[in-house]
């Protein structure tokens, strides 16, 4: 495998990791985004296959599991599978870029284990659970049930913070952009 480095961004849902990752990808041409495979439905008209996710049927996903095609995979919410395809990482490295992951906590831990010293695993954190609730509510995409499910899960995910290389406290997003840029540059050059 031709190899670059790997940047693993993880956080409880609503912490702003995706906003930070998008900023890095827009400003640093040395980075390539690892598109996850998922069995969940597309959100509205905005999501595209091969851009936001590789949308697979459950059967296709299971076939890939059996073929050992994933670096990591998991059933996140009942019946919805997410995973990282080995071919996706190779695609980015073949372009001469470093790979960036935007994944939930369990997947991030598996990726960190897989890539070892070639990865920088960054845990994005909000100042408080109240702030997280506010952000999730502000999205307008959560039902009361899904909101409480996400908050419950977030509390659990917070307990893994110390398993990552560094914590990025996302209070003001502009400051987080700068900090993330510095972390990436420093690791690329290390």
Report the C-alpha gap between 67 and 5 in whole angstroms: 25
Write out pLDDT tens, residues 27-68. Answer: 999 999 999 999 988 877 788 898 889 999 999 999 999 999
pTM above 0.75, yes or no: yes
78: nearest Cα among 39, 133, 104, 105: 39
Q: Cα(160)–Cα(73) distance, rounded to whole angstroms?
A: 18
Q: How far apart, in whole angstroms, are the C-alpha atoms of residue 176 and residue 22?
A: 12
With tokens 């890939």, the residue in question is 64
Q: Read off the DSSP letter of residue 117.
A: G
Q: pLDDT at residue 78 above 90?
A: no
Cβ contact 145:101 at 8 Å = no
pLDDT, one tens digit per residue, over 169-187 is 999 999 999 999 999 999 9
Digit-coded pLDDT (tens) for 7-17: 999 998 889 99
Provide the residue count of the chain.
190
Q: Which of 180, 7, 181, 26 is nearest to 93 (CA)?
A: 7
Q: How far is CA 71 from CA 76, 90, 113, 151, 170, in A?
A: 16, 11, 10, 27, 28
Q: Per residue in 107-155, pLDDT tens?
A: 999 999 999 999 999 999 998 889 989 888 888 888 888 888 889 989 9
What percent of the chain clears pLDDT 70, i.e. is strictly above it? 99
Name 154's bridge partners.
none
| Predicted confidence (pLDDT) at residue 189 exceeds the cutoff of 60 | yes
By the 8 A CB rule, do 19 and 173 touch?
Answer: yes
Cα-Cα-Cα-Cα dihedral sign, residues 124, 129, 134, 140:
positive
């Amino acid at each position: 495998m031709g190899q670059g480095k790997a940047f693993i961004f993880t956080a409880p849902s609503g912490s702003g990791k995706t906003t930070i990752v998008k900023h890095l990808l827009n400003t640093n041409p040395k980075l390539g985004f690892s598109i996850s495979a998922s069995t969940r439905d597309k959100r509205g008209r905005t999501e595209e296959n091969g851009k936001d996710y590789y949308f697979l049927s459950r059967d296709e996903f299971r076939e890939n599991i059996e073929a050992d095609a994933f670096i990591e995979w998991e059933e996140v919410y009942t019946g919805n599978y997410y995973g990282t395809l080995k071919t996706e990482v190779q695609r980015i490295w073949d372009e001469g870029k470093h790979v960036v992951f935007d994944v939930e906590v369990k997947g991030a831990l598996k990726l960190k284990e897989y890539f070892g010293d070639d990865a920088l695993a960054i845990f994005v954190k909000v100042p408080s659970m109240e702030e997280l609730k506010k952000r999730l509510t502000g999205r307008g995409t959560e039902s009361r049930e899904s909101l409480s499910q996400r908050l419950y899960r977030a509390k659990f995910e917070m307990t893994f913070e110390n398993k990552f290389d560094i914590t990025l406290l996302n209070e003001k997003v502009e400051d987080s952009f700068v900090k993330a840029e510095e972390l990436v540059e420093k690791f690329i050059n290390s």
